[in-house]
Chains A and B, each alone.
Chain A
Amino acid sequence: MIWNKEMECASREEMRKLQSKRLVELVRYVYERVPFYRQKMENAGVRPEDIKGVDDIAKLPFTTKDDLRDNYPFGLFAVPQRDIVRIHASSGTTGKATVVGYTQNDLDVWAECVARCMTMANVGKDDIIQIAYGYGLFTGGLGAHSGAEKVGATVVPMSTGNSKKLTTMMVDFGATAIACTPSYLLHISEVLREEKLLDKIKLKSAVCGAEPWTEKMRGEIENRLGVKAYDIYGLSEVMGPGVACDCEFHAGLHVCEDHFYPEIIDAKTLTPVADGETGELVFTTLTKEGIPLIRYRTKDLTSITREKCECGRTSARISRFKGRSDDMLIIRGVNVFPSQVESALVDVEEVTPHYLMIVDRVNNLDTLEIQVEIDEKYYTDEIRGIEKITKKIAHVIQQALGISAKITLVSPFALKRSEGKAVHVIDNRKYD
């Protein structure tokens, strides 16, 4: 099944024509409405009339997460607040959140894109789907929700955090689909096994995303649960989940190209690379009204192909992600930057600013340990004094990252200082 044949199976020329038309309109739209973009274009010496189609896109300047942060909260919005019907936010590099706003039309487009993904994942009217992404500021829950409703599935808004309730309802309701992070799904499979419920489930599709995963994990999920697992991709700055998804042939993720124009660039030279070559993924939101993005650098590394897929779709496909061009970590589905830890620790006088983050995956759930050096001046010979410091750090870290971490105090100078860039992260999670 294909949700929107007209768009998903358009010929390459038709799609290019549509993208060009939308890009021309978008550039004029942001030039007139967003002072930030007007200024950036003026600095680059580009005028809206210079952009006649997607062939001219490289003339436009890039947008980054820092730009979103610098214009916190609503500086990049292209419509007045009265036209914004929803706000979402994700964590930024230095504590300040990245805020995105949606018009009603943006929400409709979002639901449309997720509906395409749900259809790719074989989810439709006859399905009962549990949405086990977090609901709230995070785009995962509400994003997947609206698309699942659009295809007419019976939606169970589980959110995260209660695995027992989830497995009970999965069995009692006879749920046929689930949307959650792949690591959470592996955890759920453990819970099902412990409760001896594995042979009582009716699950057939899993729509997994919000964190990097591998073919090996897919195999593991499919074997344990007897499901087909699909990879859904998105990022809140661009929209949320549903920007791209893979079909049953698992030959890369189909991009909703009529709404998001993808480019792959060399992260160092910032010049476009050829199809099939790995580089940083860049998106231009062709139809977004609330907070349109011009050439937004995702920092995700991948490659692109525009060849027709076996499933019949002609949309461009991006390969599984090969990493990041920055130091962002995704822990339990949450974006975490080491710089957030650094700035949080500055406020804790009892410790030095040296730290080491150790990320691991235990029983399929991400763990984060942060080692911090106790400042000699604040050392105390009483356990409760040390515990007080540990608790204080745990609190500021939770506030800064939005996830909890295990805090381990170490002696001064216990953490290695290297000549050049200090090592702040050890990621022991295996992706292959």
Chain B
Amino acid sequence: MSAKQLSVFIENRQGRLGEVLSVLKNNEVNLLSLSLADTTEYGILRLIVSYPEKGKECLTKAGFSCMLADVLVVKIPHRTGALQEILECVSDKVSVEYAYGLSTDKADACVVLKVSDIKTARDVLSQNGIETLSTDEIDKL
């Protein structure tokens, strides 16, 4: 399974991040994970949310540049080296563009991976018995 990531372009201007969050809140879109890649000029906010399509729609209406992209959300056990093992089994097939964590109340953690070829990565992971989650599944964690 793959999940939808919602990303938003934000200028480095005071209150801009808050504006994004309040638009999502007002539209009852729940935030599951957040990562901010920033430069001195602007930032790219990457989000995993409960309703990605709805999130995109309301942010676009509010004047933000945003897009949806397919990402892999991988469950990883809480032990040393777990993430490294996962990356190792995909690394010779696809390249990882970026990654960030997603926390759950369960014993396992999750990591969000943006890869160059999502289908190949997913196949490799499932052959190795590693589970990837859909947006719905993440929401239920």
> Which A residues are within 8 Å of any B CB, using their own CB?
374, 376, 379-383, 386-387, 390, 408-414
Contact = CB atoms under 8 A, between A and B. Distances in A.
A380 B9 CA distance: 8
Interface residues of B, number: 21
B44 interface: yes
Given A383-B37, A383-B44, A409-B42, A374 B65 contact: yes
A369 to B, nearest CB: 10
Nearest to B12: A408
28 contacts: A374-B9, A374-B65, A376-B60, A379-B9, A379-B65, A380-B67, A381-B5, A381-B7, A381-B44, A381-B46, A382-B98, A383-B37, A383-B39, A383-B44, A386-B42, A386-B44, A390-B41, A408-B11, A408-B41, A408-B42, A409-B41, A409-B42, A410-B42, A411-B63, A411-B64, A412-B64, A413-B63, A414-B63
A408 B10 CA distance: 11
Given A376-B60, A409-B42, A411-B10, A381 B65 contact: no
B34 to A, nearest CB: 13
Contacts, number: 48
B53 to A, nearest CB: 16
A386 B98 CA distance: 15
Contacts of A413: 63
A387 B69 CA distance: 19
A374 B39 CA distance: 16
Nearest to B6: A381
B92 interface: no
Contacts of B42: 386, 408-410
Nearest to B68: A381
Given A379-B65, A380-B67, A382-B97, A411 B37 contact: no
B124 interface: no
